[in-house]
Amino acid sequence: MDGDLSSTATPPLEGCGPALADQLSLPKPLRQRVFEYVRGQGRTARSDISRALGISPGSATTLTADLIRANLIREVADPERGQGRGRPRVALEIVPEAGHVIGIKLGDDRHTAALSDFAGRLICDLTLPASTKARPSYQIVDEIGALLTGLLEKAGKTLRDVSGIGIGMVGIVDHAQGIVHWSPLLDSTDQAFGAAVEERFGLPVALENDANMLTLSELWFGAGRVKSDFAVVTLEKGVGMGLVLNNQLYRGSFGMGLELGHTKVQMEGALCRCGQRGCLEAYISDDALTREAATVLNLAPDTDGPASTMAALYQQAAAGHAPALRIFQRAGRFLALGLSNVVQLFDPALLILSGERMTYEFMYADHLSADVQALVLSQNKMPCKIEIRGHRDLHWARGATARALADMTDRLFNTETPA
């Protein structure tokens, strides 16, 4: 593999979830491993299950019969295998109606929700505008309530049809405790946000940093399904990162690692919105670019956000205005520095760049891959492939459905003994 930039996505596989075989070696109940294999394949035969999991045909038959009685999987005709003498060929698939989950992306100016069935298929989605100001957590819970109401009305369902909610939000999030230690959406720190949402709606809630949710979207539905190690770096109003190692989302010992945007690139440098100085985010985020634009181009920053200032800066750069171009190019060098550190530390096979800011191609055109390669020890032999993704908010919300589906599956099988 090379280090060239690419915007070509891997063709989608059938099913959802990590597709590599070593995912199945995790200490899970055998019945759960069978279930997840079926979901991962989309549609499969008992003989395939037997071979993939290394179990006898009799065990595969017994376990799948158990799952059929529980209404978790079902038999369907298998036209790909044809039909000879005797019984018609059949395959197995997840019963989609066996459960539903909702995934939510909480954003700086809009929220997006997606409703998924038990097979991971999208049923419908909804986006609503949101305040751009930091506010108390109860107000955001109210906004989630409006989002859920609209989404369920659109789908013709109620909360009783839902088994869990996944929520991704920008900030420093303790996924295990459901605590948001800091987020630009909230006006205070160390909020028990997950518990507040659970209490309000009476459903299990899985809370994650939003970059982790987008990474789960790639792991369950995208190119990451066939990669044991890959990274996702997001450029929105801030800088986020998610990392998959050995087919598993990596969070660190305390669940607050991989805050790439808050790694330091300049001692005593520019002030970041987190309150510290010298963070990468302080040099490549919208706030950073509009701050420079105000100084270099005499553009007044927006009172309600940087959108129009960014648009003006981009237009000037596109017209060949040298100072505007230099602002993007400087940000691109800092971006290359941040990405080179990711490559040097984790050696991923694939690094995906995503987010709204990827429209500003001056930050990553032609030179970015070369700049990254020049900063790592492997240099021109760097095996990491860099790809650009135009992810919409729906992709982030679908990652949240993946987290909710994973938690729902674990709850279904948690009384059984791991294989």
Secondary structure of 122-176 as H, E, C letters:
EEEEEEEECCCCCECHHHHHHHHHHHHHHHHHHHCCCHHHCCEEEEEECCEEECC
Q: Give the pair of three-digit tokens for residue 407.
A: 């938690």
Same domain? 186 vs 248: no
Q: Which domain holds residue 67?
A: 10-97
Establish if 1 belongs to a structural domain. no
Same domain? 89 vs 187: no
pLDDT digits (tens, 9 = 90+) for 58-91: 999 999 999 999 999 999 987 665 555 545 678 9
Establish if 4 belongs to a structural domain. no
Per-residue pLDDT of the chain (419 residues; tens, 9 = 90+): 344 455 444 445 688 988 775 544 567 899 999 999 999 999 999 999 999 999 999 999 999 999 999 999 999 987 665 555 545 678 999 999 999 999 999 998 899 999 999 999 999 999 999 998 999 999 999 999 999 999 999 999 999 999 999 999 988 899 999 999 989 899 999 999 999 999 999 999 999 999 999 999 999 999 889 888 999 998 877 888 999 998 889 988 776 678 898 899 989 888 888 888 999 999 988 888 888 888 777 766 555 456 777 888 888 888 888 888 888 888 888 999 999 999 999 989 899 988 766 666 666 666 777 888 888 887 666 568 888 887 789 999 999 999 999 999 999 998 655 65
Same domain? 407 vs 330: no
pLDDT value, residue 310: 80
Q: Please, how many CA atoms are within 13 Å of residue 17, restricted to the half-sphere of its CB?
A: 24
Q: Please, how many CA atoms are within 13 Å of residue 45, restricted to the half-sphere of its CB?
A: 13
Establish if 244 belongs to a structural domain. yes
Establish if 300 belongs to a structural domain. yes
Establish if 222 belongs to a structural domain. no
Same domain? 387 vs 246: yes
pLDDT value, residue 300: 64
pLDDT value, residue 315: 85
Same domain? 200 vs 273: no
- Residue at a domain's end among 97, 129, 147: 97
Q: Give the pair of three-digit tokens for residue 31.
A: 């019945």
Same domain? 377 vs 269: yes
Establish if 245 belongs to a structural domain. yes
pLDDT digits (tens, 9 = 90+) for 248-285: 899 887 766 788 988 999 898 888 888 889 999 999 88
Same domain? 210 vs 191: yes
Phi, psi of 168 (to 5 degrees): -110, 135
pLDDT value, residue 360: 63
Contact 261, 239 (CB under 8 A): yes
Same domain? 254 vs 177: no
Own/partner long-range contacts of 32-36 (Cβ < 8 Å, ≥24 apart): 32/409, 32/410, 32/412, 32/413, 32/416, 33/419, 34/60, 34/63, 34/64, 34/67, 35/67, 35/72, 35/73, 35/94, 35/409, 35/413, 36/409
Phi, psi of 304 (to 5 degrees): -105, 5
The CA distance from 151 to 146, in Å, is: 9
Number of domains composing the chain: 3
Establish if 3 belongs to a structural domain. no
- Residue at a domain's end among 47, 62, 97: 97
Same domain? 90 vs 105: no
CATH of the domain at 140: 3.30.420.40
Establish if 418 belongs to a structural domain. no
The CA distance from 413 to 205, in Å, is: 18
- Residue at a domain's end among 48, 73, 97: 97
Helices (H), 189-280: 193-201, 210-221
Same domain? 386 vs 400: no
Same domain? 88 vs 111: no
Same domain? 251 vs 367: yes
